[in-house]
Amino acid sequence: MIFEPRWKSLMANTVGPIFTPSECQDIINIGHQQKSQEAQVGSTAKEGRHDTKLRVTTISWIPFKAMTDRYKTIERSMLQANRNHFGYEGMTITEPAQFTEYPKGGFYDWHMDADTSGKFEPPVRKISMTILLSDPSEFEGGGLEFGSKGVKPSQLVQGQAVYFCSFIRHRVAKVKKGIRRSLVMWFGGPPFK
């Protein structure tokens, strides 16, 4: 029987924020400059569909050229998290960032970020990331939860990232007050061996 090393994890928060409140506001402004759309559920935009029983949020996609330095910061942080917690080979940024806004009543029910059909591989999504852009005092509810029992990571502070394996079921609970803003990304590499 083969066991994973004890140092490996399925989830890891950065020790502190990787972006200052000012940098978070810059990302929010850049997100607002992009074309906004109602978020869909499904593997691709072609196959996606609006389903307000599963997801209520607006998103926009931030091109790499719109925040080159921020992408470099995120990539450095992801590579460090991968070295210290996940140990996947050939990890890189494979998709642009998704700027996400959850208004009061907004949520995203249980889902995985990994494509289980294999139709869209390689690269294989292996690590997902969420950076909290809002100050936690600006909203209530909207917690990021993992697994079917809703395990919650420690409360993120503004600008802090949480990395987790893309095959883990997770959700964003319903926002009760205010607006929760976040930056979501996925990182991939060669198929699992």
Q: What are 101-128's pLDDT values in tens digits? A: 999 999 999 998 887 666 666 688 999 9
Summarised one tens digit per residue, pLDDT across range 135-152 is 999 999 999 998 866 667
What's the CATH number where 184 sits? Answer: 2.60.120.620
Q: Any bridge partners for residue 188, and if so which?
A: 92, 125
Average pLDDT over residues 45-67: 85
**Alpha helix stretches (DSSP H) within the chain:** 21-33, 68-81
Nearest to 16 by CA among 185, 128, 183, 156: 156
Residue 35: which domain range?
Answer: 11-41+49-189
**Is 1 within a domain?**
no
**What is the band of 69 on the pLDDT scale with cuts at 50, 70, 90?**
very high
**Is 6 within a domain?**
no
**Is 25 within a domain?**
yes
Nearest to 79 by CA among 144, 127, 31, 7: 127
- State pTM to two decimals: 0.89
pLDDT of residue 40: 77
**Is 64 within a domain?**
yes
Beta-strand ranges (E) seen in 33-112 are: 37-38, 55-56, 58-62, 92-93, 97-102, 107-111
**Is 53 within a domain?**
yes
pLDDT of residue 48: 66
**What is the band of 50 on the pLDDT scale with cuts at 50, 70, 90?**
confident
What total number of domains does the chain contain?
Answer: 1
Average pLDDT over residues 23-39: 96
User: If you ran DSSP here, which 8-state letter would residue 86 be given?
Assistant: I
**Is 31 within a domain?**
yes
The rounded distance, in Å, linking the Cα atoms of 112 and 139 is 24
**Is 5 within a domain?**
no
